[in-house]
Chain A
Amino acid sequence: MHEHNGSGSPSFLARLGGIDRRWIFLAMGLSIALPILLKLRFPEYPGPMAKATFDAIESVPEGSTVLVAFDYDPASAAELQPMANAMVHHCASRGHKIVFMALWPLGRQLADKAIEEVLLEFHPGLRYGTDYVQLGYQAGNEGVIKLMATNVPEQYKTDTKGTPLASLPLVAQIKSTADFALIASISAGYPGAKEWVQFAESANPEAFKLVCGSTGVQVSQLLPYYPKQLDGMLVAVKGAAEYEMLVEGKYPVEKNAERLGQGRVRMGPQLVAHMLMIGLIILGNIAMVAGRSRGGAR
């Protein structure tokens, strides 16, 4: 704000409105750096969407085959990998068999990472082919989903190692997406959860449960589908953190637990930074009112 002349020096609050923005930068930097340095973790209160996701995976009978699609790339991994990790652990703990796939070219590596760091770490007894299968990436965007809705073996002739699907017991009997008990799309945009709703869910509305994990930016595109078409939805790091709470509450792990806590670690800076933003908005308005009441410049 412009400082006015005449009626004495403006109050501290009024001057606050024109504060050098570098103080705001500093506050923002600290509010993100300190929680990381101090490893601050705050309790999360699982919201209805995270609970719905958790319940959807719980509600499917033990030993069902579930499909987890990694529809993102490393650029969005900071937001999505934590929920992918928690979901993989959840499915395996519940006794589900997991089929991995990706609609984004680099999604396959991220799925491999989840298999190595979570699935095999916490469930070392699982065997490839009977307990889990990695189908990898196929080009074609929503076309991949369309074809899978009627004919999975036509879309995926082999897994990533080149083994025909028929020789993998877990997927030998899978004909279409309707044969999965649950499908989860962890998605950062196009193609992703929206396309799963449009092309898989609408083809077989009752056949399987569909849940998704989404980045914050594309959330508004997906909200209209919850809770009718999407049985559950994890929204950005916050959704991941809430979901981690639920998963860890029921299926705790002994060592390397931090691999299932990344969402909550990243929520530390989020909470502090959001509080800062809210505080800044309030402060800005107080400063405006203070400046106005003293007859200062607008």
Chain B
Amino acid sequence: MTGPLHQNPRERFVRGSRSAAGAVTVAMGMATAAALAMSAQALASAVPAMQDAVGGAETAAPAATAAPVAPVELALFNMDRLGLFLAMVLICGAVIGAILVARTGRPLRIRKLAALEAVDEAVGRATEMGRSVLFVPGIQDMTDIQTVAGVTVLGRVARTAAEYDARLEVPTSRSIVMTAARETVQAAHFAAGRPETYNDNGIYYITDEQFGYVAAVTGKMVREKPAACFYMGAFYAESLLLAENGNAIGAIQIAGTAEPSQLPFFVAACDYTLIGEEFFAASAYLSGERDQLGSIKGQDIGKLMVAAVIVIGCALATVGALFPATGATGAVDALRSFLGG
């Protein structure tokens, strides 16, 4: 990363996968076994998707049939990443399991997030005042999951706005985000039962340039004085420029981001802030669908696993430091290198 400012999402995007190239060939038997396990996992995660895609078809191919044929030159599985792979299986398994449990209809209890309760209130206030609602989905492209989560939250805001008949403005910094936002807002109007009130004009592209975008949005804020401002997505230095100007016009401001460096500014300048993981949970929470709520449970299971690793690891390390003879330090190092890759 080159500092929080000029991050180029595309570069980061490419870099992540290139590192996969430096793989080591390992004992073939092990690799094939692992690959079998993995393709089963991949397929397992694919199956519900496909099921959904074909409208809940009953049949699904048995997992093992799709195992790749043994290769000649390249390893099927990079054994260096076994720890990562197992961690991924555990976490994805927790999420999938929680979704399946949710489908059985058992009651799901999720604690309330104050910021979300405020969404309806903010839109309602804008309607009363006859002013618009501004939604800023961050400055990154759809290559950032935060933007995707932001667009999901937009769906709920747009639905409320459609119900109240409030004017919604979504300036975007990436044209693909504009496309996604239009789809989402249109869907929200359908869901609110008012498809006729939807039009494209409120959702438009400004410029990809970070500060060009901010200049336009802050200008718009000062001129049109929206009563409610939502900042949901990936933000960098512009966070405070937006939030301070929103404050100056007296708007209710609700922010959500997973960009740790910008959280302090949103926390200081906005009325409500969804901090990090809360933001992703919010996007699931707002949909109100059981599947999505289930996945929040899955996240919680993931956190429990992390906490368990930390507690056990620290206990072992402490024993190792106090009584070097027990060899507990060696166990911690082994755990570390297994998980750390």
Direct contact of A and B (CB under 8 A): yes
Q: Enumerate chain A residues within 8 angstroms of B248, measured Cβ to Cβ.
A: 21
Tell me the complex Cα distance, A188–B6, Å. Answer: 12
Q: Enumerate chain A residues within 8 angstroms of B3, measured Cβ to Cβ.
A: 75-76, 188-189, 215, 217-218
CB distance from A172 to the nearest CB of B (A): 31
Residue of A nearest to B1 (CB): A190
Tell me the complex Cα distance, A75–B6, Å. Answer: 9
Residue of B nearest to A73 (CB): B2
CB distance from A63 to the nearest CB of B (A): 35
Is B48 part of the binding interface, using a Cβ–Cβ cutoff of 8 Å?
no
- For chain B, what secondary structure do more than half of its interface residues adopt (helix, strand, loop), or is it mixed? loop
Total A residues in contact with B, Cβ cutoff 8 Å: 11
**B261, A189: Cβ atoms closer than 8 Å:** no
Residues 1-23 of B contacting A (Cβ, < 8 Å): 1-6
Residue of A nearest to B244 (CB): A21
Residues 138-191 of A contacting B (Cβ, < 8 Å): 188-190
Q: Enumerate chain B residues within 8 angstroms of A76, measured Cβ to Cβ.
A: 3
Tell me the complex Cα distance, A73–B5, Å. Answer: 12
Q: Enumerate chain A residues within 8 angstroms of B261, measured Cβ to Cβ.
A: 217
Q: Enumerate chain B residues within 8 angstroms of A190, measured Cβ to Cβ.
A: 1-2
**B4, A217: Cβ atoms closer than 8 Å:** yes
CB distance from A102 to the nearest CB of B (A): 13
Residue of A nearest to B247 (CB): A21
Q: Enumerate chain A residues within 8 angstroms of B6, measured Cβ to Cβ.
A: 75
**A75, B5: Cβ atoms closer than 8 Å:** yes
Residues 273-320 of B contacting A (Cβ, < 8 Å): none
Residues 47-86 of A contacting B (Cβ, < 8 Å): 73, 75-76
* Chain B residues near A (Cβ < 8 Å): 1-6, 248, 261
* Chain A residues near B (Cβ < 8 Å): 21, 73, 75-76, 104, 188-190, 215, 217-218
What are the 10 tightest A-B residue pairs by CB atom distance, in nearest-first order? Answer: A189-B3, A190-B1, A189-B2, A189-B1, A188-B3, A217-B3, A190-B2, A217-B4, A75-B6, A21-B248
19 pairs, CB–CB < 8 Å, chain A vs chain B: A21-B248, A73-B2, A75-B3, A75-B5, A75-B6, A76-B3, A104-B2, A188-B2, A188-B3, A189-B1, A189-B2, A189-B3, A190-B1, A190-B2, A215-B3, A217-B3, A217-B4, A217-B261, A218-B3
A21-B248, A188-B3, A218-B3 known; 11 new pairs, CB 8 Å cut-off, are A73-B2, A75-B5, A75-B6, A104-B2, A188-B2, A189-B2, A190-B1, A190-B2, A215-B3, A217-B3, A217-B261
